[in-house]
């Protein structure tokens, strides 16, 4: 017997028919002899709809009241799933965020989980009851409803799994696992049986939207084994216990498996970055600090930075990237400080994409970056900026070349599935 937390996303919960399918999957896990808790999302599109109501009611909405409204989507699906399970003869009950309780801080609309008392939940599971928990919601220190940020049900599921010391947290979604790259771009993309937490974090942060990034950090910190798998399966599909999806595991567990692995695990593309260049910035101590300090204070995340060596005039160009959503704000902050920084012109460009190759194999092998540069050069793709971490190399290129770049790199690193 194992203890398993199952999480179902919005597309899996969209309507009575689909909820019945979910209930069937849950029931089969219980019949296999496991203790189960289920975490659910709101029906697909529902959270967007609720967010819109808040905007219509009051453009400058109070985040505490926003949370009251948007948390309701998950309350509906958790009750409906409990009802459906009961109709199938299972013992089931819902546990709202404040009933467990899932205690968070008071950062409404983006709260962090602080404490989770699992006693009541464990007792109910031990009594053979299926616990159904609405994702996304918690309760603040002053007893108000909070939500964990968009996509937060993944984080709820991992937090529940950590609290009840689950053997596995199965995240059921509309894809059947994590792929070497987006299968819509590269038909020969392969499903990965195993990915490490760090690889998943890098892939999630550069645009592969399978899991909320925060859920992966939490899983890494709490050592929760997470499986991503599809809920769109029939009764003859392989059981979740045979790990048909992608398992997200620690480095040690990966090393312990005898899996043949490529040097590179995956390739991600992110079109949500924008590039800013400031020309003729004076080459003196403090000039760069004057550019980035106001951005940091306004919580604008700068990713790639290039500063050229100064020419004889004692001036240099500085180029960097920010999220596209923050571009206008960044421009106006820098415009205001034009005199103080002392640059000549500001040039912004949103037609850029960041392509990243990710893999823990990079730690012990040289040449990953040079393969990337050579492969892109052979196709005449120009590299605007470069950044690296221990397990990732990213380049900034023209958006129009995104698909081509991903395809040629996928082949160059030997990731293509056999035809």
Q: Is 280 annotated as a binding residue?
A: no
Q: Distance between CA 413 and CA 371 in Å, rounded?
A: 8
Q: Distance between CA 46 and CA 238 in Å, rounded?
A: 31
73 binds, among ligand ASP, Mg ion, none (CB under 5 to 8 A by kind): ligand ASP
Q: How far is the CB of 110 from ligand ASP (least distance, A)?
A: 11
Pick 42 or 80: Cβ nearer Mg ion: 42
Pick 36 or 158: Cβ nearer ligand ASP: 158
Residues 361-400 contacting Mg ion, CB under 5 A: none
Interaction between residue 151 and Mg ion (CB under 5 A): yes
Closest CA to 262 of 373, 357, 379: 357
Q: How far is the CB of 92 from ligand ASP (least distance, A)?
A: 20
Q: How far is the CB of 358 from ligand ASP (least distance, A)?
A: 23
Q: Is 174 annotated as a binding residue?
A: yes
Q: Is 209 annotated as a binding residue?
A: yes
266 binds, among ligand ASP, Mg ion, none (CB under 5 to 8 A by kind): none
# chain residues binding Mg ion, by CB under 5 A: 2
Pick 174 or 255: Cβ nearer ligand ASP: 174
Q: Is 344 annotated as a binding residue?
A: no
Q: Is 155 annotated as a binding residue?
A: no
152 binds, among ligand ASP, Mg ion, none (CB under 5 to 8 A by kind): ligand ASP
Pick 151 or 245: Cβ nearer Mg ion: 151
Select the residue whose beta carbon is closest to Mg ion and give its number.
151
Q: Is the distance from CB of 241 to CB of 294 less than 8 angstroms? A: no
Pick 25 or 376: Cβ nearer ligand ASP: 25
Pick 39 or 385: Cβ nearer Mg ion: 39
Q: Is 210 annotated as a binding residue?
A: yes
227 binds, among Mg ion, ligand ASP, none (CB under 5 to 8 A by kind): none
Compute φ and ψ for 186, nearest 5 degrees: -120, 110
Q: Is 260 annotated as a binding residue?
A: no
Q: Is 8 annotated as a binding residue?
A: yes
Residues 18-37 contacting Mg ion, CB under 5 A: none
Q: How far is the CB of 137 from ligand ASP (least distance, A)?
A: 9
Q: Distance between CA 248 and CA 103 in Å, rounded?
A: 26
42 binds, among Mg ion, ligand ASP, none (CB under 5 to 8 A by kind): ligand ASP
CA 85-98-86 angle, to 5 degrees, is: 10
Q: Is 47 annotated as a binding residue?
A: yes
Q: Is 292 annotated as a binding residue?
A: no
Find tokens 């571009």 and name the residue.
327
Q: How far is the CB of 303 from Mg ion (least distance, A)?
A: 23
Chain residues in the site for ligand ASP (CB under 6 A): 10, 41-42, 47, 73, 135-136, 150-154
CA 102-105-107 angle, to 5 degrees, is: 120
User: What distance separates the 2 farthest-apart alpha carbons in the chain?
Assistant: 81
Q: How far is the CB of 359 from Mg ion (least distance, A)?
A: 24
Q: Distance between CA 31 and CA 99 in Å, rounded?
A: 27
Binding site members: 7-10, 47, 74, 173-174, 179, 184, 209-210
Residues forming the site for Mg ion (CB under 5 A): 9, 151
* Residues that constitute the known binding site for ATP: 7-10, 173-174, 179, 184, 209-210
């Amino acid at each position: 017997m194992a203890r398993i937390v199952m999480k179902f996303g919005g597309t899996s919960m969209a309507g009575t028919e689909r909820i019945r399918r979910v209930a069937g999957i849950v029931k089969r896990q219980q019949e296999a002899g496991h203790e189960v808790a289920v975490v659910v999302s709101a029906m697909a599109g529902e959270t967007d709809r609720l967010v819109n109501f808040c905007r219509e009611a009051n453009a400058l909405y109070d985040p505490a009241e926003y949370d009251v409204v948007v948390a309701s989507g998950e309350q509906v699906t958790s009750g409906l799933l409990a009802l459906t399970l009961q109709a199938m003869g299972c013992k089931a009950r819902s546990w709202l965020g404040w009933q467990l309780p899932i205690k968070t801080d008071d950062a409404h609309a983006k709260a962090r989980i602080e404490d989770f008392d699992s006693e009541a939940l464990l007792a109910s599971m031990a009594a053979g009851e299926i616990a159904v928990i609405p994702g996304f919601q918690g309760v603040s220190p002053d007893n108000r409803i909070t939500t964990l940020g968009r996509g937060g049900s993944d984080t709820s599921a991992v937090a529940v799994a950590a609290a009840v010391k689950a053997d596995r947290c199965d995240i059921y979604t509309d894809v059947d696992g994590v792929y070497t790259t987006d299968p819509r771009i590269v038909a020969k993309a392969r499903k990965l049986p195993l990915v490490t937490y760090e690889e998943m974090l890098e892939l999630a942060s550069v645009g592969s939207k399978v899991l909320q990034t925060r859920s992966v950090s939490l899983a890494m910190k709490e050592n929760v084994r997470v499986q991503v798998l599809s809920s769109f399966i029939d009764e003859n599909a392989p059981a979740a216990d045979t790990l048909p999806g992608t398992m997200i595991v620690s480095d040690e567990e990966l090393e312990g498996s005898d899996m043949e692995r490529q040097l590179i695990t995956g390739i991600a593309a992110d079109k949500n970055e924008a590039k800013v260049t400031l020309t003729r910035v004076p080459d003196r101590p403090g000039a760069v600090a004057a550019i980035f300090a106001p951005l940091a204070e306004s919580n604008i995340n700068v990713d790639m930075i290039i500063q050229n060596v100064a020419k004889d005039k004692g001036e240099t160009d500085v180029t960097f990237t920010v999220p596209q959503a923050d571009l206008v704000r960044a421009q106006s902050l820098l415009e205001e400080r034009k005199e103080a920084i002392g640059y000549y012109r500001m040039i912004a460009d949103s037609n850029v994409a960041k392509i990243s190759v990710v893999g823990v194999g990079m730690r012990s092998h040289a040449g990953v970056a040079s393969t990337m540069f050579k492969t892109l050069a052979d196709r005449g793709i120009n590299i605007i900026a470069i950044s690296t971490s221990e397990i990732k190399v990213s380049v900034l290129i023209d958006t129009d070349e995104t698909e081509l770049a991903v395809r040629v790199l996928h082949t160059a690193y030997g990731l293509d599935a056999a035809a």
